[in-house]
Amino acid sequence: MNKENPTSLIVIFGATGDLAQRKLYPSIYRLYKNGSISKNFAVVGVARRPLSNEEFRANVTKSVSSAANGEGNAEEFSSHFYYHPFDVTSSNSYQQLKDLLGSLDHDYETNGNRIFYLAMAPEFFGTIASNLKAEGLTETAGWKRLVIEKPFGHSLPSAKELNEEIREAFHESEIYRIDHYLGKEMVQNIEVIRFANALFEPLWNNRYISNIQITSSEVLGVEDRGRYYENSGALRDMVQNHMLQMVALLAMEPPIKLNPEEIRSEKVKVLRALRTIEQDEIENYFVRGQYGQGVIAEDTVLGYREENSVDPDSNTETFVAGKLVIDNFRWAGVPIYIRTGKRMYSKSTKIVVQFKDIPMNLYYNLGEKVDPNLLVIHIQPEEGITLHLNAKKSGKDITTTPIKLDYSNNCIDGINTPEAYERLIYDAMRGDMTNFTHWDEVALSWSFIDQVSKAWESKKASDFPNYEAGSTGPKKADELLEKDGFHWWPV
Ligand code: BG6
């Protein structure tokens, strides 16, 4: 196998869905355009509705048009795409797909390498995986890999059940569980900032850090995903996966090598050290919120309970703030606060590492205490880091002024950060599992999250909706930090 220009058939289940059209096709197109994948590839789109190859290719051409930017090779790219109308439970469907893969394998000389990408309703994940094996589609001369989108279960027991099903057909080393945050440039940069600088790692512990804050806020509401979201809520949609993955990267020990096994083993240790919150203590650690009506960019927007496919009396949270405690030597006593929500005032993901105050303040900043040092990691939409320091204010008096050292990825000339999905598809094709979640991580995250969701499901939130669309979330999220003597840094 050529590791750098991999060759494979990619079978996408859910080929007419939103994710495939908005993210997967443009990402594969960019890989094609920049020569990252070999021309020996073909994509088979699988979905229920009947479509001809021509119709499917026209859809693909359309979905890559902005990435293609008039370059004229979108049609040539789409000619690698084939469509297979499919019924998940019919043996016939799998047999026809098997024949199609066999002939494409031959035509495109893909050496029997196959990626099965499940980008569709999660209730079919298990059935598809077992049928792929039962019908012989996984018997191939090359490698086979299963790429699986979230949600990976709904709780620990359901995730286990799904895992057992897919493990009958694929080995753990063939399962690529997507967490698209792990494909983001600045999430990948967390490790580099920490472990490639002599400056930070010695300070990266409870002697010098007072708290860490991770915020991922969105302006969009639930849109047309009401049915899914009602059963998920922000806790399962964002915290179980993306937020806990960022926590693990921030808190892990330096791995002994930069390989998937070593990195994962350090992340797993962090998740194991997360203090389990007892049911009757949830309110001291977690805050839930739901947006009501509000104004965003001068438009009045609906409250969550008025959205499509949402129960008018819904108990589903669209906002979560939490205080996580990591019980290990490095982090004992350092709270990690997280918050995420829909319909907030800005679209932004940021990490703020707040350092402890200096032992004795000699300087005053306009009569105030000097500001603490902060390291801010901007994940999106800006990508970069800012270090907040104090310096002398120009002039005769010795007073201080806060200053910022800024590094912005976006300002580097010619840089074109690949989309998260572009990287992840490329990694899956090359067989690099570093930025995918292993079952051990998934299981530990669910067991932590299940405690919170059980407490919330057993008791209806009496104050929903409790934050206005376009705001920073419920007041209780501020109180969560205030009672520890902290406040959220603006994002
Ligand atoms: C997805 C969630 O995993 O992440 C969505 O299902 C959310 O609800 C999205 O909007 C946020 O991703 P990003 O990359 O826009 O921060």
378-408 tens-digit pLDDT: 999 999 999 999 999 898 888 888 999 999 9
Ligand 1 atom at shortest distance from the alpha carbon of 342:
10
pLDDT of residue 3: 53
Rounded to the nearest whole angstrom, what is the distance from the C-alpha of residue 330 to the centroid of ligand 1?
30
What are the pocket residues of ligand 1 if the criterion is a CB atom closer than 6 Å to any ligand atom?
218, 237, 349
Predicted confidence (pLDDT) at residue 149 exceeds the cutoff of 70: yes
pLDDT of residue 417: 66
**Segment 156-192, tens digit of pLDDT:** 999 999 999 999 999 999 999 999 999 999 999 999 9
Predicted confidence (pLDDT) at residue 332 exceeds the cutoff of 80: yes
Q: What is the distance between the alpha carbons of residues 413 and 410, in angstroms, rounded to a whole number? A: 8
- pTM score: 0.95
Q: Choose which residue among 152, 237, 241, 245 to substitute to test ligand 1 binding: the one with the highest number of ligand atoms within 8 A of its C-beta.
A: 237
pLDDT of residue 367: 60
Q: Choose which residue among 149, 214, 242 to substitute to test ligand 1 binding: the one with the highest number of ligand atoms within 8 A of its C-beta.
A: 242
**pLDDT, average across residues 233-250:** 98
Rounded to the nearest whole angstrom, what is the distance from the C-alpha of residue 319 to the centroid of ligand 1?
13
Ligand 1 atom at shortest distance from the alpha carbon of 241:
3
pLDDT of residue 200: 95
Which residue puts its alpha carbon closest to atom 6 of ligand 1? 237
Rounded to the nearest whole angstrom, what is the distance from the C-alpha of residue 24 to the centroid of ligand 1?
15
**Segment 51-110, tens digit of pLDDT:** 999 999 999 999 999 888 888 799 999 999 999 999 998 999 999 999 999 999 999 999
Pair 351, 250: CB distance under 8 Å: yes
pLDDT of residue 378: 97
Which residue puts its alpha carbon closest to atom 2 of ligand 1? 237
Pair 445, 271: CB distance under 8 Å: yes
Q: What is the distance between the alpha carbons of residues 452 and 349, in angstroms, rounded to a whole number? A: 23
**Segment 210-221, tens digit of pLDDT:** 999 999 999 999
The alpha carbon of 258 is separated from its chain's Cα centroid by a whole number of angstroms, namely 21
Pair 19, 119: CB distance under 8 Å: yes
Which residue puts its alpha carbon closest to atom 4 of ligand 1? 238
Q: What is the distance between the alpha carbons of residues 268 and 60, in angstroms, rounded to a whole number? A: 39
The one-letter amino acid at 206? N
Rounded to the nearest whole angstrom, what is the distance from the C-alpha of residue 234 to the centroid of ligand 1?
10
**pLDDT, average across residues 194-212:** 97
Rounded to the nearest whole angstrom, what is the distance from the C-alpha of residue 207 to the centroid of ligand 1?
34
Which residue puts its alpha carbon closest to atom 13 of ligand 1? 181
Rounded to the nearest whole angstrom, what is the distance from the C-alpha of residue 199 to the centroid of ligand 1?
33
Task: Give the active site residues.
Answer: 242
Strands 374-380 and 384-392, by their bridges, are antiparallel
Predicted confidence (pLDDT) at residue 346 exceeds the cutoff of 60: yes
Q: Choose which residue among 22, 23, 27, 180 to substitute to test ligand 1 binding: the one with the highest number of ligand atoms within 8 A of its C-beta.
A: 180
**Segment 10-54, tens digit of pLDDT:** 999 999 999 999 999 999 999 999 999 988 999 999 999 999 999
pLDDT of residue 363: 75
Pair 229, 357: CB distance under 8 Å: no
pLDDT of residue 2: 45
Around 19, how many Cα atoms within 13 Å sit in the side-chain half-sphere? 19
Predicted confidence (pLDDT) at residue 1 exceeds the cutoff of 70: no
Question: 64-69: which pairs have CB atoms within 8 A and are 24 or more residues apart?
Answer: 64/25, 64/26, 64/29, 66/26, 67/26, 67/29, 67/30, 67/33, 68/29, 68/33
Ligand 1 atom at shortest distance from the alpha carbon of 229:
8
Which residue puts its alpha carbon closest to atom 8 of ligand 1? 237
Token digits of residue 483: 């009672």
Pair 27, 63: CB distance under 8 Å: no
Which residue puts its alpha carbon closest to atom 15 of ligand 1? 218
The one-letter amino acid at 248? A
Q: Choose which residue among 218, 219, 419 to substitute to test ligand 1 binding: the one with the highest number of ligand atoms within 8 A of its C-beta.
A: 218
> What is the SS3 assignment for the chain?
CCCCCCCEEEEEECCCCHHHHHHHHHHHHHHHHCCCCCCCEEEEEEECCCCCHHHHHHHHHHHCHHHHCCCCCHHHHHCCEEEEECCCCCHHHHHHHHHHHHHHHHHHCCCCCEEEEECCCHHHHHHHHHHHHHCCCCCCCCCEEEEECCCCCCCHHHHHHHHHHHHHHCCHHHEEECCHHHHCHHHHHHHHHHHCCCCCHHHCCCCCEEEEEEEEECCCCCCCCHHHHHCCHHHHHHHHHHHHHHHHHHHCCCCCCCCHHHHHHHHHHHHHHECCCCHHHHHHHEEEECEEEEEECCEEECCHHHCCCCCCCCCCCCEEEEEECECCCCCCCCCEEEEEECCECCCEEEEEEEECCCCCCCCEECCEECCCCEEEEEEECCCEEEEEEEEECCCCCCCEEEEEEEEEHHHCCCCCCCCHHHHHHHHHHHCCCCCCECHHHHHHHHHHHHHHHHHHHHCCCCCCCCEEECECCCHHHHHHHHCCCCCCCCC
**pLDDT, average across residues 268-276:** 98
Q: Which residue has the higher pLDDT, 487 or 414?
A: 487
pLDDT-above-70 percentage for the chain = 97
Which residue puts its alpha carbon closest to atom 9 of ligand 1? 238
Pair 175, 165: CB distance under 8 Å: no
Rounded to the nearest whole angstrom, what is the distance from the C-alpha of residue 340 to the centroid of ligand 1?
10
Ligand 1 atom at shortest distance from the alpha carbon of 220:
10
Rounded to the nearest whole angstrom, what is the distance from the C-alpha of residue 379 to the centroid of ligand 1?
13
Q: What is the total residue count of the chain?
A: 491
Q: What is the distance between the alpha carbons of residues 409 and 204, in angstroms, rounded to a whole number? A: 23
pLDDT of residue 71: 80
Mean pLDDT score of the chain: 94
Ligand 1 atom at shortest distance from the alpha carbon of 181:
14
